[in-house]
Amino acid sequence: MLQGSLVAIATPMHGDGSLDISALRALIDFHIEQGSDGIVIVGTTGESPTVDFEEHCLLIRTAVEHTAGRVPVIAGTGANSTREAISLTNAAKNLGADACLLVAPYYNKPTQEGIYQHYKAVAAAVDIPQILYNVPGRTGCDIANDTTLRLAQIPNIVGIKDATGNIERGTDLLLRAPKDFAIYSGDDASCMSLMLLGGHGVISVTANVAPKLMHEMCVAAMSGNAILARTINAKLFALHQKLFVEANPIPVKWVLHKMGLIGAGIRLPLVTLSAQYQDVLRDAMKQAGI
pLDDT at 140: 94
Q: Which amino acid is at 153?
A: Q
pTM for the full model?
Answer: 0.96
Residue of 161, 184, 242, 253 with catalytic role: 161
Which of 34, 42, 25 shows the shortest CA–CA distance to 5? 34
| Whether the Cβ atoms of residue 76 and residue 48 lie closer than 8 Å to each other | yes
**Domains of the chain by residue range:** 4-226
In the predicted structure, residue 266 carries a pLDDT above the cut 90: yes
pLDDT at 1: 84
Q: Which residues of 73-90 are buried (b: 16+ CB within 10 A; e: fewer)?
A: bbbbbbbbebeebbbbbb
Q: Which residues are 131's β-sheet partners?
A: 101, 159
Phi first, then psi: what are they for 265, rounded to 5°? Answer: -65, 140
286 is catalytic: no
In the predicted structure, residue 104 carries a pLDDT above the cut 90: yes
pLDDT at 135: 97
CA-to-CA distance for 158 and 99, rounded, in angstroms? 9
Q: What angle do CA 88, 7, 68 make, to 5 degrees?
A: 70
CA-to-CA distance for 176 and 37, rounded, in angstroms? 26
CA-to-CA distance for 141 and 274, rounded, in angstroms? 29
Helices and strands (H, E) in the chain, number of each type: 12, 8
**Strand ranges (DSSP E) for the chain?**
4-8, 38-41, 73-76, 99-103, 130-134, 157-162, 182-185, 201-204
Contact residues for 154 (Cβ-Cβ < 8 A; gap 6+)? 119, 120, 123
User: pLDDT tens-digit profile of 124-159?
Assistant: 999 999 999 999 999 999 999 999 999 999 999 999
CATH pick for 4-226 out of 2.40.40.20, 3.20.20.70, 3.90.1300.10, 3.40.50.1950: 3.20.20.70
Phi first, then psi: what are they for 170, rounded to 5°? Answer: -65, -40
User: pLDDT tens-digit profile of 217-232?
Assistant: 999 999 999 999 999 9
Percent of the chain with pLDDT over 90: 100
Residue of 93, 116, 119, 133 with catalytic role: 133
User: pLDDT tens-digit profile of 178-212?
Assistant: 999 999 999 999 999 999 999 999 999 999 999 99
109 is catalytic: no
